Structure 1
Amino acid sequence: MDRYGAPTLGGHYEGLRHGGVIVLTEPPSGAAAELFYRSLHSGCAVAIPFGENPGFDFLKSKLTEFGTVSPSAEGPHELWWGGIGWSKLSASADGATIRPRIVSYYPFGSDPDDIRSLRRSLDELELDSHIEPVAAELGEQVLCFEKAEFLARMWQRYSEPLLFVEAGATLCEAPLLPSALGCDVALHKWNRWEMSARTLYLGRTARAGQLLRSWHHLAASYPSIWDGYLLDQAWGLTSSEGPLDTVWLPRSYHAMKGDLAAARATILHSEQTTTTSLGPDPGFAGLVRAARRAGRTGARDAFMVMTSEAANENGVAVILRDIEANDARAVAATVEAVTGAFAADCGGYKRFELSLCALKDDLGAAQAAAQQARYRILEIAPGQSIPRDFFAAHAYHTADHAVMTACHLFP
């Protein structure tokens, strides 16, 4: 708001908007979304406080995604914000007082020429940095586990925010945008939805540290899986457990030699635009390569995870279905009611996971995940009355309840 001005509620699409923050609480239809998009100016920002609702996905796809703030028990919604370009925010980044430390590595014994252009650009921009060789198990190929382990060491060694860039990159200007926005984490989504680990910013926050630990743990457990997918999974897990403030970096922070963004690059990577390693491994199973949907956790991930002080390992999965066919405010009110009920009385459950399902396939995936975890499954609908003793009324009857049941609790 300091950059864009006082917010106003959206809903009227006539005429050009010259600036300000527009808050949308209901998803527009296709035609209304087009009219709204055409009314925007580069000085406008669009904020969607119920960003977890897939009804907003079409409008989001037309806008540049600036970032998200994930939910918590206190604010159980995902705030999404964006606009039609990064120019307003990029111009304000010059006022950033905190400069990140640039960190990178190269495989021990490899040709140091790959790192010289990075060192030269860091010296010219007078940026603090740390670059070191790492002993990679596969010679010149650094595994995701080795990358996450390197970043974990840098996190422990330095007190300032970290910006990791791959060896061979060149910094064309100081990368100040993430620190100017004061976010927890900043990264670029390759092909719009697939997360890239070639440029990664970590702010000095507890949530950034949690994301790094989750990524490190996943990489240690699955060392052969490519780093972008595991970073995506760590982001989804961390986002579901607390308010992770994420900035989706513009292409200028992930530019490739030969593409149109190279002329205006902040960070220029040495690979060509067509390099297949920039995206997902083409041999990776398509079943687990679902696109990250419009900057939000989808139904195949828990939208929100809460834990209690209960002295057992019982879990409950609440599935909120038919969310795309219902009013956004009704969906939001039901999310608030069910999370508030768990905070008030957990019913003896240690862990609560909330999934939002719009499609039948999403519903099946959420049910299968809950059954695999041996959770009690409760299905609810938007607008349904959720009493404060909701979880106590549907608690396990015995501590060793063996069969997970799906209770359909529609009004």
Structure 2
Amino acid sequence: MMTTNGTAMPGEHAPRIQQLDFIRGIAVLGIFLMNIVALGLPAAVIDNPVAMDPVSSADLWVWGLSQVFAEQKFIAMFGMLFGAGILLFAERAEARQLPPRALHFRRMGWLALFGLLHAWLLWYGDILFPYAVAGCLAWLWRAKPVASLIRWGVALYLIPALLLYLVHLSLPQMDPADLADLAAFWSPEAEQLAAEIAALQGGLAERIAYRHEFILSLQTSGMVFGTLWLVLGYMLLGMALFKLGVLSLQVPRTTYYKLLGWLLPGLALSAYGVYYQVEAEFSVLVSFAGPLWNYLGSLMTALGYIGILGLVALRMANAAWVQRVKAVGRMAFSAYIMQTLIGVILFQYIGLFGLLQRSHLILIVMLVWAVQLVFLPLYLQHYRQGPLEWVWRRLTYAGTRRVDTSV
């Protein structure tokens, strides 16, 4: 039975918003385009494609196209979907006469724990912990009007951009010893790369010993001076889009064409960032300015992608490939960890870390995409949700008067 506003009666399974699953599925698949580089190559190579020899023209093209079309774009989409999910979770908890605030913070607490385990035991590039921390803060804006959410979202999103610009301006005046340390990370010596490759091909203890300071910095200073603000900004903008009905196809078709208008300016800014770094021959002096251009263009591009996906959904909602992507989005948590596990097995346990180039990694991405698009829909024919989604929901609702895992 449904109420007059379309929500499920307490104790019943609430209907899913299919468009959220569709966008989330595209985001999770797209995120793997960038994550596989961090999973399979030394840290310096993530931002500096010429940090490790050999580098072919194909590798540079893959880097450049990934920067323009993928880097930060799918994380932005996922962050906006996460913000929308906070509002949807609260609405459904209230419809079931459950305490939304308590459940939300319990939900974020468990996600933070999952993120810590993911970062320390599997892979340092975890996004779950930052999302959990930002998700707790995002609750403060839950009841804000759309205009306020947009203003705050854009302002928070621009904080890391301002910090990147200030660091860029400071590089020529930096103490020579500090600049030398930055250059050593930006373009490490062969011995340093070999040590990283050996450590990451070793056992769990060796990997943690080598990465522990890096992981700790990402989860502390890295969040305070960057990640937290951009993720929170994405979430607030996602809340605004959800309240407007953009993410649930409740707006006119023209709205998606307007969003599509952000695509070319966003791509142009990212493309200029690529050109800027290539022209500077990937000098350490542009190590912050190049990514800044891409950062500024990423939100615009993500909005353009959401516009495209809205138009696709309006035209071909029942297409077979769309249904497969929705299945990935419905199992986003499990799909994300599955990608990490595949990467850990290939690069750390089989020993391929540091041995492949970007052009090779793209082939692995396509194979993993194919596996997830084939097998995740088959899994959902037998189960209502992914295994990690099930565990997360059971933990969230444990101890409440009604455990309903459909949210």
TM over 0.5: no
Q: TM-score, normalised by structure 1?
A: 0.23
More helix as a share of residues:
2
Q: Which has the higher strand share?
A: 1
Larger Rg: 1
After TM superposition, the score normalised by the length of structure 2 is 0.24
